[in-house]
Amino acid sequence: MKDLFDSFNGKKIMIVGDVMLDIYMKGKVERISPEAPVPIVAVTETFSRLGGAANVAQNLKALGAEPILCSIVGNDETSNDLHNLMKEQAMSDIGIVKSEERITTRKVRIIGNNAQMLRVDTEDTFDLTEKESHSLINRIHAIISEERIDGIILQDYNKGVLTEHLIREVISTANKNGIPVGVDPKKKNFLAYKNATFFKPNLKELREGIGMSVKDDSIEDITKAVDKLQSELECRFIMTTLSERGVLIKDYENNVMHHIPAHLRKIADVSGAGDTVLSVAMLCLVCEEDAHNIAALSNLAGGLVCEELGAVPINKTRLLEECKKIMN
């Protein structure tokens, strides 16, 4: 297993999607406001983290890979804060394009007595303009032509970056260059990812994306839904995350399927777990691991980050230790 983890080092993974700044304001609640029936949070700590597709980049970086983040942000203070956080983590910003036509997504979470009480989002969610799309696609093409890209992740948060046109363009370019593509979709463009390599919906997204009734506890139902989805997308791998029931992966090239149960965890926060799952799965994929190991390792990683508050990257050392205990 250590050999696999060592092989993650230096892998160049491009991440295309919506980036955002996550801000956390933590404090104590000891009284109710006299102005309205709401708690007063006396803030004791404020900190920022990379969010959205940038959290995928953080996870890849933590695993030893070299992430190249490609996105559109606003020309504003929030994008400057994002840039500074990326710089602190020695993360390249060559794929970040600034636009005067939108603002950078910013999510502020108010946490009182260790419980999230409120989230305030500042964002634009309309699709990229033609000008923005052209600029980002040109930047992506330039990076692919200049760098040895081992894999591409398309990470959608419904903030407008992953339009149908951009999705098709990136997948087509990747396939021409023999680069595998992993996808974390949202409902809006769910069926636009035809010919991607690896597709990772959750159960809710699977139901809504193909319009089928699927029982939570029926592997038979889930398998039928996955088969219907594959007939539309023609992906090699489809891995459905099932929350407390683990993950189900199907490899259509080798005609194998595995259901990996979840590991019992003390859950603190599920935000960012999907980012971790896809990051680990993509690195396993580019290192030519089989479907079982892709699912087992990424499922384990997703559970570990749920023990932490907020979207935090996976700890590579701890993941390796857990793998040795559980998977060997």
pLDDT in tens, 238-293: 999 998 888 999 999 999 999 998 776 555 455 667 888 999 999 999 999 999 99
pLDDT of residue 88: 94
- The residue from 127, 269, 275, 290 that is catalytic is 275
Q: Which two tokens stand for residue 211?
A: 């319009």
Report the mean per-residue pLDDT for the chain: 92
Q: Which two tokens stand for residue 205?
A: 């997204």
Residue type, 240: T
Range of the domain at 211: 2-326
**157: nearest Cα among 298, 237, 275:** 275
pLDDT band at 94 (very low <50, low <70, confident <90, very high): very high
Question: What does residue 137 show for φ and ψ, rounded to 5 degrees?
Answer: -60, -40
Angle between helices 53-62 and 273-286 (to 10 degrees): 50
Q: Tell me: the pLDDT tens digits for 141-169?
A: 999 999 999 999 999 999 999 999 999 99
Secondary element (H or E) of residue 30: strand 19-32
What is the distance between the alpha carbons of residues 241 and 235, in angstroms, rounded to a whole number? 16
pLDDT of residue 129: 96
Question: Based on the structure, what is the number of domains in the chain?
Answer: 1
Q: Higher-confidence residue: 211 or 180?
A: 180
**319: nearest Cα among 63, 64, 10, 54:** 63
CB neighbour class for 145 (10 Å; exposed up to 12, middle 13-18, buried from 19): exposed
Is residue 275 among the annotated active site residues?
A: yes
pTM equals 0.93
* Torsion angle in degrees (nearest 10) through CA of 126, 128, 131, 136: 160
What is the distance between the alpha carbons of residues 81 and 21, in angstroms, rounded to a whole number? 8
Strand, coil or helix: 20: strand
CATH of the domain at 181: 3.40.1190.20
Mean pLDDT in residue range 3-26: 95
Q: Within 13 A of 33's CA, how many CA atoms are on the CB side?
A: 8
Mean pLDDT in residue range 77-83: 97
